[in-house]
A and B are shown apart, each in its own frame.
Chain A
Amino acid sequence: MYIAKSLINHQREELRKAIYDIRTISPDCSVFLLEEYRRRLSEYLPLKNKPYKMKEKETKRLLGLKTDGYIEKIRTNIEDREIIKDGYVFPLVYKDNLVGICIHWGKKEINNNIKIRLDDIGRKISLLKNLSEGYEAIRQLDLLKQLTEVLETESNMEQLIQNTMELTRKIMRVRYFAFYSLKEHELTLKKAVNANDIFSESLFFDDLPGRICSGGYFLSSANKDLVDYLFQDREKVRSFVAAPFNVNNNLEGFFVAAERSSGIEEEFRVHNHLDEKDFETLDDVLTRLSIAVNRIRLTKQLEKEVEKLSKLKESNENLIEFQRNQLFRLNILHKISQALRRSLDREKIIRMILISMTSPSGLGFNKAVFLKLEEKTMSFIPEYAVTSEFERKIEDEYPVFGDFSQYLIEVSERELEKFEELDQRIFYSGNPLLERVVLRKRMLHVTRRLKQMRNDELFQIERITDSDEYVILPLSGERGVEGLLLLEPKAKEVDLSSSELQLLELLSDSVDISLELSERYQRILDISSSLQKERNISNYYRYFAENIIQSLDASITVVDKEMTITECNRRCEQLLEEDRKDLVGKHIENYGDKLGDIIPLTSDVINSGERVTLSDHTLDYFDERVFDIRVVPLIRYGNNIIDGAVIALNDVTRRYYLETDLKKREKLAALGEMSAKVAHEIRNPIAVIGGLVERLSKVKDTEKVRKYSEILRKEIKRLEGIANEILGYSRKPKKEEYKTTDVYKLCKEVMEEYRDQAAKKNVLLNLQGDSEIYFYGNKDRMRQVIINLVQNSIEASEPGGDVRILVSKNNGMAQIEFINSGKKIPGEISKRIFEPFFTTKSFGTGLGLSVCKTIVEDHGGNIDVDSNDKRTRFTVSLPLGGLNNEKEKLSKNTDR
């Protein structure tokens, strides 16, 4: 580069010398150089103090000359003063390119010596121009490389424009550079390089800048309007170029470059103003800048979309995680219920509950306390407390069971330590919060907020817990609430979610049933032991007279103390494959191959005097057959002496396989159906979401991305809906779904649906009563109640029986009675018939009647059953609603 610079300077000096050499021979000669763009001639190295300037018209005439020659009256100006002179004009040409002319003022002819020198000058000028252009091209190339780097890599918009402007200013060798941005018909000076006070701050987008923006503009100071418009100080600006800035065919403003630096050593340029070539350079830079701006904007947009998507994905994952947890908890709940149902010992049930609440494999509460009710003082006494740390220790001692319910059963064998601190009695009488728990059997969820509001009522409980949040769950048996369960959540800061509370409510139902069962079992044990005492041998024989024993389905064998057979019936003969006369008198050991372990069992019974019952028992000899076996001691009346034993074997093979088969099949079918439905509902949205997320990574089109996101949002919403549906089983219906419904019509609709089913069983359906009795509520749920009751009535009826449905008004209630002529429901069953999971049928979930009860009570009504030998009647009473009231009001008004 340095060599290029000195070469140019050297050549410039050579040219100067050559021109001065000619002036020594022909002193009055001027050299004009041609400005290529404006086709204007201007004097180089002026002859006088000021240079000659040639007007456009005259330039044209002189350039028209093909050869050198004498020209009269050449019009030139020196500082606006016109001078007309004659002279000899010699075109300066190098390789057919005109680079200027030389005028010898006042001369008619010049000699060959001068002509040769002038040719040399033409060559020198041409060489200088080429050298200068070459040098300039190299300089620009280097800067353009830097510009490319900026345009391709810069990711900050501000920095991009700033750097581009600075580099472009250097490339174009301009002093001032500015960017006006267009927004709502206003152009604002967005950025200016080296020219803060030169440019106007803001412009209104009208005709003048409009011209720039429609196609670019370049000019010298000649266009006064535009100069005034753009520049605050017009004296400083002699030339500028401006070009529009479009991004994606959108006009975003324009750039202005003004004042080319002059007097640059390494440059040989005929003119100093900006020209078309400069405009092209600017225009090129802007086209490339627009691509870069577009690139940055698209990248930003893409980043936003990706962020949005990852958020969507996250929320989706959270939802799935939530569902998974919920299923997991339901499973635990199921295991707990299973364990509870397998125990009939109240103490064990309570231990199981405490352990399942705090176990890390269970519900994971931090602490669970059981408080026992003391009725006469109307208070609760803390009995046992289990903490999660204690529980973890137990779990270490016990082998790990794959089955949580098995684990609970094993662990519940262990005694728990009693609550140590005495006198922590909690009185509920007169305490509204606790009374609600006890009397209405409602769970109490204590939060920080509730504590602040009801501190007076809670302080008693706070003596046994220091947790910020806890739950009190009533546990009730047959006689109502028997105790309370206090649960502290794991983390102190975590609020229990409503779904967790719902789970606890479900669990409390299960516990209640188990407690009740255990009480009932205890009572049965008491009764049977007292019966045992009253029984005597003579009674026994009287009751089982010979012919009754003989015709029994069960095989009966009577043995004496020595285990010799003294009596047997027909079934026994068949079973042991010998006649009675052969059997009687033989020792029972003779039939050891068939009776197997019944023989030692009988010996035990005779020794201990306690009866033994084995249900669903198999004997090796009779493979595949199942027996109910009962061995009862024969006790002599009055003095408790054991005389022998009675062995009864009842073949229940058929019943056993039927029952187990049926249960298994039904459970599998119900489970299969349910999970297939859920899988189908979930699989569709998951397939769509998965597919679209996959596509999103491939698709660049913004419009597509938007469309995909919209669908994703919809499908995620749908998943959420499904989750809500699964979780929403205990949800109360909204009041908006309530409307006024004609009871009679609704019954009629249901009855029509079941007519066929009834006819198949030869049961007559019959609906009586008044139309225009209305209730206000959820029609679909009430239809479910009627369907359940009609179905139950049909099932309870014998073929040839009938089912009557009566609709009436009674005590201000709408009343529906379902009467069937089936068998009497025993009192103890009818008491429990509305409890969840209670069923006497070998099919069904046992939820039907309990659902009916819930729905009817949600509507403020009630449901009842009464049964005698002739008929069974379910009565549903609902508050009258809607039209009834209005009608009554109307009739009252007309009465007056």
Chain B
Amino acid sequence: MKKKNLVKILIVDDEENMRFLLKEELEEEGYIVYDAASGEEALKIFNNNEIDVATIDIEMPGMDGRELAGKLRKEQPEIKILFLTAYSHYRHDLSSWAADEYIVKSADLNELKNKIKKLLK
């Protein structure tokens, strides 16, 4: 397991305030956090940094989260991917199964933090 302060997390969400909140929360946990507003932007960051974990929103304009997850997984099979979405019905979507975790957005961020911790073990 990597040291916590060396773990790099990429947040992909088209909602600016959501990104801000996640960044604040995860940085406080000691991670190095990058954020991207779209799938395209996320790929650029991913190519220039060694990302360990990516939390991805599914519904985004342009490239959607499932497509992005597929691309990341192809480039780097050991990457940990979490889908963080406001919809719960994607949980049954086969293409969502490429992710390691599936979380429905809620006010409680502990689920997200715990699942990241679990994935990094």
Contact residues of A with B, CB < 8 Å?
676, 679-680, 683-684, 686-695, 698, 711, 714-715
Question: Would you give the shortest CB distance from A138 to chain B, in whole angstroms?
Answer: 49
Jot down 10 A-B pairs with beta carbons below 8 A, ordered by A: A676-B89, A679-B87, A683-B86, A686-B106, A688-B15, A688-B17, A691-B109, A692-B21, A711-B17, A715-B17
Chain A residues with Cβ under 8 A from B17's Cβ? 688, 711, 714-715
Within the assembled complex, what's the spacing in Å between the Cα atoms of A711 and B15?
Answer: 12
Q: Which residue of B lies closest to A704 (CB)?
A: B24
Candidates B22, B24, B87, B107; contact of A690 at CB < 8 Å: B107
Candidates B59, B104, B107; contact of A691 at CB < 8 Å: B107
Q: Is the beta-carbon distance between B25 and A684 smaller than 8 angstroms?
A: no
Q: Is the beta-carbon distance between B87 and A687 smaller than 8 angstroms?
A: no
Q: Is the beta-carbon distance between B105 and A687 smaller than 8 angstroms?
A: yes
Chain B residues with Cβ under 8 A from A683's Cβ? 86, 104-106
Candidates A679, A680, A694; contact of B107 at CB < 8 Å: A694
Question: Would you give the shortest CB distance from A840 to chain B, in whole angstroms?
Answer: 33
Chain B residues with Cβ under 8 A from A691's Cβ? 21-22, 25, 107, 109
Q: Is the beta-carbon distance between A676 and B87 smaller than 8 angstroms?
A: yes
Q: Is the beta-carbon distance between B86 and A694 smaller than 8 angstroms?
A: no
Question: Would you give the shortest CB distance from A754 to chain B, in whole angstroms?
Answer: 26
Q: Is the beta-carbon distance between A694 and B109 smaller than 8 angstroms?
A: yes
Q: Is the beta-carbon distance between A686 and B107 smaller than 8 angstroms?
A: yes
Candidates B25, B28, B59, B106; contact of A680 at CB < 8 Å: B59
Tell me how many residue pairs across A and B have CB atoms closer than 8 Å.
Answer: 50
Contacts A691-B21, A695-B24, A711-B21 supplied; 7 other A-B pairs, CB < 8 Å: A676-B87, A683-B105, A686-B106, A687-B107, A691-B22, A692-B21, A694-B108
Within the assembled complex, what's the spacing in Å between the Cα atoms of A683 and B106?
Answer: 7
Question: Would you give the shortest CB distance from B46 to chain A, in whole angstroms?
Answer: 24
Chain A residues with Cβ under 8 A from B15's Cβ? 684, 688
Question: Would you give the shortest CB distance from B77 to chain A, in whole angstroms?
Answer: 30
Chain A residues with Cβ under 8 A from B104's Cβ? 683
Task: Tell whether A690 pairs with B59 under 8 Å between CB atoms, given A680-B87, A695-B24, A715-B17.
Answer: no
Chain B residues with Cβ under 8 A from A676's Cβ? 87, 89
Within the assembled complex, what's the spacing in Å between the Cα atoms of A714 and B15?
Answer: 12
Question: Would you give the shortest CB distance from A484 to chain B, in whole angstroms?
Answer: 47
Does B45 sit within 8 A of A, measured CB to CB? no
Within the assembled complex, what's the spacing in Å between the Cα atoms of A714 and B18?
Answer: 12
Does B20 sit within 8 A of A, measured CB to CB? yes
Chain A residues with Cβ under 8 A from B105's Cβ? 683-684, 687
Q: Is the beta-carbon distance between B86 and A711 smaller than 8 angstroms?
A: no
Q: Which applies to chain A's interface (DSSP): helix, strand, loop or mixed?
A: helix
Can you list the 3 inter-chain pairs with the closest CB atoms, starting with the nearest? Answer: A690-B107, A683-B86, A687-B105
Chain A residues with Cβ under 8 A from B20's Cβ? 711
Chain A residues with Cβ under 8 A from B89's Cβ? 676
Chain A residues with Cβ under 8 A from B108's Cβ? 690, 694
Within the assembled complex, what's the spacing in Å between the Cα atoms of A693 and B107?
Answer: 9
Question: Would you give the shortest CB distance from B18 to chain A, in whole angstroms?
Answer: 6
Q: Which residue of A lies closest to B105 (CB)?
A: A687
Chain B residues with Cβ under 8 A from A714's Cβ? 17
Within the assembled complex, what's the spacing in Å between the Cα atoms of A165 and B48?
Answer: 61
Q: Is the beta-carbon distance between B24 and A684 smaller than 8 angstroms?
A: no
Within the assembled complex, what's the spacing in Å between the Cα atoms of A693 and B87?
Answer: 22
Q: Is the beta-carbon distance between A687 and B106 smaller than 8 angstroms?
A: yes
Q: Is the beta-carbon distance between B18 and A688 smaller than 8 angstroms?
A: yes
Chain A residues with Cβ under 8 A from B22's Cβ? 691
Within the assembled complex, what's the spacing in Å between the Cα atoms of A692 and B104?
Answer: 17
Chain B residues with Cβ under 8 A from A687's Cβ? 18, 21, 86, 105-107
Within the assembled complex, what's the spacing in Å between the Cα atoms of A688 and B25?
Answer: 11
Q: Which residue of B lies closest to A711 (CB)?
A: B17
Q: Which residue of B lies closest to A698 (CB)?
A: B28
Q: Which residue of A lies closest to B85 (CB)?
A: A680
Chain A residues with Cβ under 8 A from B24's Cβ? 695
Q: Which residue of B lies closest to A718 (CB)?
A: B17
Q: Is the beta-carbon distance between A680 and B86 smaller than 8 angstroms?
A: yes
Q: Could you tell me which residues of chain B, from 97 to 117, have a CB within 8 Å of some CB in chain A?
A: 104-109
Q: Which residue of B lies closest to A682 (CB)?
A: B86
Chain A residues with Cβ under 8 A from B87's Cβ? 676, 679-680
Within the assembled complex, what's the spacing in Å between the Cα atoms of A691 and B25?
Answer: 9
Chain A residues with Cβ under 8 A from B25's Cβ? 691, 695
Q: Is the beta-carbon distance between A689 and B86 smaller than 8 angstroms?
A: no
Chain B residues with Cβ under 8 A from A688's Cβ? 15, 17-18, 21
Task: Tell whether A679 pairs with B86 under 8 Å between CB atoms, given A691-B21, A714-B17.
Answer: yes
Q: Is the beta-carbon distance between B106 and A690 smaller than 8 angstroms?
A: yes
Within the assembled complex, what's the spacing in Å between the Cα atoms of A691 and B24?
Answer: 10
Question: Would you give the shortest CB distance from B12 to chain A, in whole angstroms?
Answer: 14
Chain B residues with Cβ under 8 A from A689's Cβ? 107
Q: Could you tell me which residues of chain B, from 1 to 52, have a CB within 8 Å of some CB in chain A?
A: 15, 17-18, 20-22, 24-25, 28
Within the assembled complex, what's the spacing in Å between the Cα atoms of A695 and B26?
Answer: 11
Question: Would you give the shortest CB distance from A312 to chain B, in whole angstroms?
Answer: 14
Question: Would you give the shortest CB distance from A211 to chain B, in whole angstroms?
Answer: 46
Question: Would you give the shortest CB distance from A224 to chain B, in whole angstroms?
Answer: 60
Q: Is the beta-carbon distance between A684 and B107 smaller than 8 angstroms?
A: no
Contact with A along B69-111 (1 / 0, CB 8 A): 0000000000000000011010000000000000011111100
Q: Which residue of B lies closest to A690 (CB)?
A: B107
Q: Which residue of B lies closest to A693 (CB)?
A: B107
Q: Which residue of A lies closest to B108 (CB)?
A: A690
Question: Would you give the shortest CB distance from B85 to chain A, in whole angstroms?
Answer: 8
Question: Would you give the shortest CB distance from B29 to chain A, in whole angstroms?
Answer: 12
Chain A residues with Cβ under 8 A from B109's Cβ? 691, 694
Within the assembled complex, what's the spacing in Å between the Cα atoms of A714 and B24?
Answer: 18
Within the assembled complex, what's the spacing in Å between the Cα atoms of A621 and B108?
Answer: 58
Within the assembled complex, what's the spacing in Å between the Cα atoms of A190 and B104?
Answer: 59
Task: Tell whether A684 pairs with B86 under 8 Å between CB atoms, given A690-B106, A690-B108, A694-B109.
Answer: yes
Chain B residues with Cβ under 8 A from A692's Cβ? 21
Question: Would you give the shortest CB distance from B107 to chain A, in whole angstroms?
Answer: 2
Chain B residues with Cβ under 8 A from A679's Cβ? 86-87
Within the assembled complex, what's the spacing in Å between the Cα atoms of A801 and B117?
Answer: 65
Within the assembled complex, what's the spacing in Å between the Cα atoms of A365 and B36?
Answer: 53
Chain B residues with Cβ under 8 A from A693's Cβ? 107
Question: Would you give the shortest CB distance from B111 to chain A, in whole angstroms?
Answer: 11
Within the assembled complex, what's the spacing in Å between the Cα atoms of A683 and B88?
Answer: 11
Question: Would you give the shortest CB distance from B56 to chain A, in whole angstroms?
Answer: 15
Question: Would you give the shortest CB distance from B58 to chain A, in whole angstroms?
Answer: 10
Within the assembled complex, what's the spacing in Å between the Cα atoms of A692 and B107?
Answer: 8
Question: Would you give the shortest CB distance from A9 to chain B, in whole angstroms?
Answer: 65
Question: Would you give the shortest CB distance from A358 to chain B, in whole angstroms?
Answer: 39
Question: Would you give the shortest CB distance from A707 to chain B, in whole angstroms?
Answer: 8
Question: Would you give the shortest CB distance from A530 to chain B, in whole angstroms?
Answer: 56
Chain B residues with Cβ under 8 A from A715's Cβ? 17
Q: Which residue of B lies closest to A686 (CB)?
A: B107
Within the assembled complex, what's the spacing in Å between the Cα atoms of A676 and B24?
Answer: 28
Q: Is the beta-carbon distance between A684 and B18 smaller than 8 angstroms?
A: yes
Q: Which residue of B lies closest to A687 (CB)?
A: B105
